[in-house]
Each structure stands twice: as structure tokens, then as C-alpha cells.
Structure 1
């Protein structure tokens, strides 16, 4: 009962050109519609800033901590390394910096030697707290191999 005796077997084929045409039209449609769509969650009006206005530079107090535990405030070495001496000297330096800054808050820069003890640095931080200094920062040296 083979009715297809003389017919050759026909291989099915997929014509890709109409498929590519349809995908190209869809791609162009998506590109056009997404460029004109604007998504905003909130309507925000940004403030205007004057680019020529410079921020005031805060007054600085530099406290250096030596490897042997000696302290220096703004390059003046303290007579001894007792915490009470450090507290009094830092309070005096903070009051002088506040008067120079017209009541502004000075920044305390702690410049500690790598071989200094942690307790010496903690003494400086405690003296800063007692002097009412809340802006603290630590001076560091850039690592030459960090940028590679």
C-alpha cells in the first residue's frame, strides 16, 4: 500500500529571511520606543549652586605621637607624656583654634608613628573628647604599591 512510490523524499527547510525581517522590525520598534520613555519615581527640582564659591578651610590641630610615646601639638613638643599634660595642652590648642575659626569646629589630625603604642593614640583621642573636639582624622602615608 505504498501510494508514494515515485515521489522523492522532500527535505523540510526553514526560510530564515522573513524571520530576520520581522525581528529587525521589532528591534527597531523597541529601540525607538525606549529612547523616548522617561522613568522618574519622584519629581525633583535640584538646587542651583555657584561653582565659584569655595568652602571654608577648617582650622587644623595636628597632634604627633612619637614612637617613644612623646606628644607634640602643632609642632610644639610637650614637656612630659602624662595624660593630664596632654589634656591641658590640647584644650588650650582647641580654644585657640576655635577663636581663630570664629567659633567653627577645628579638625584634629592625629599623626602617629607606626611604632607608637595604641594606648598613646587612645590618650590623644580621650584628650580630644575632653577638649570637645569631635572631628578627628588620622594622617597616613600612601602605599607606593597600591596603585599597581
Structure 2
């Protein structure tokens, strides 16, 4: 039933002007807030390979300590009860290498060795004037 006889129904239409206004504001905001980076090129001169003599392998002294406190310096047993004896063994092992180069002390301690035995090796290295000390580790494979 149509109670309004003379009134025509207007067609509904979408008003695009507010939508365009909002989109223009968003585009302007994005343009202002965006950072534009320029890619620049670096001028790099790469080195050429020359056939030089291989460098000398650095002198290493391996010090092993087991759970009982027994010390081995480069595979030779050392008396570790006194730090000065261990220092003398390190000095003797360092004298076998090239002169003028300080050796690297590699500490290979048993997992059940006491901390004091490792500290004794470090103190003996200090007394022998060896400052390059490193520790050997083992990867657990479970």
C-alpha cells in the first residue's frame, strides 16, 4: 500500500566526495611520514691474491690436568704440587719454540679437576711471563 501518492521515491546514491577527501588526507599523511632512502654505491678496491709464503704456525703449549691433579705439559709429566715447578716446565716447553714469539697456553682440564689446579696453571703462566691463555672445550653430543 502506498499512502504517499504524489511523492516519488528518490534513488539512493553513494556520495564519493567525502571518500575522496579522506583518501587524499591519508595519501598526504603517508607521503609526509615516509622516509625515502637513496641507495649509494661504495667505491671498493678489492685486494689481489699474491702467492706469499704461509705464515708460521704459532707456538702452543698444551697443559692437561686430570681429576687427580696430575699435570702434563706438551705430553710430559710435570710436578704440579708447586707452582714454580709448573712454571719451570712451561718455560722449558716455551724454549723449544722459536725465540721472540710468545706461546699460547692451552689449558685442557678434566671436568672433575679442581678449580685450584686450573688456577695453578694460570699462575704458573703468569710467573713464566706468558699472557696468551685459552681453554680447550669439548662439545656435548647427546
| Inter-CA distance 119–51: structure 2 relative to 1 (3 Å threshold) | farther
Aligned length: 121
| Inter-CA distance 7–47: structure 2 relative to 1 (3 Å threshold) | closer
**Rg larger in structure:** 2
TM-score normalised by the chain length of structure 2 = 0.67
Q: Tell me the residue number matched to 1:10.
A: 13
| Inter-CA distance 128–49: structure 2 relative to 1 (3 Å threshold) | farther
Question: What's the Cα RMSD here?
Answer: 3.4
Q: What SS does the aligned partner of 1:62 have?
A: strand
| Inter-CA distance 66–46: structure 2 relative to 1 (3 Å threshold) | farther
Structure with the higher fraction of residues in helix conformation:
1
| Inter-CA distance 11–57: structure 2 relative to 1 (3 Å threshold) | same
Are 1:117 and 2:119 an aligned pair? no
Moved over 4 A (4+): 13-16, 44-47
Offset of residue 9 of structure 1: 2.0
In structure 2, what is the Cα distance between the partners aligned to 1:130 and 1:46? Answer: 46
Offset of residue 81 of structure 1: 2.5
Q: Tell me the residue number matched to 2:49.
A: 50
Gaps of 5+ in 1: 24-32
Counterparts of 1:21-32 in structure 2, within 5 Å, are: none
Are 1:105 and 2:102 an aligned pair? yes
Are 1:68 and 2:68 an aligned pair? yes
Q: What SS does the aligned partner of 1:120 have?
A: helix
Whether contact under 8 Å (1:94, 1:131) holds in the other structure is no
In structure 2, what is the Cα distance between the partners aligned to 1:12 and 1:77? Answer: 95
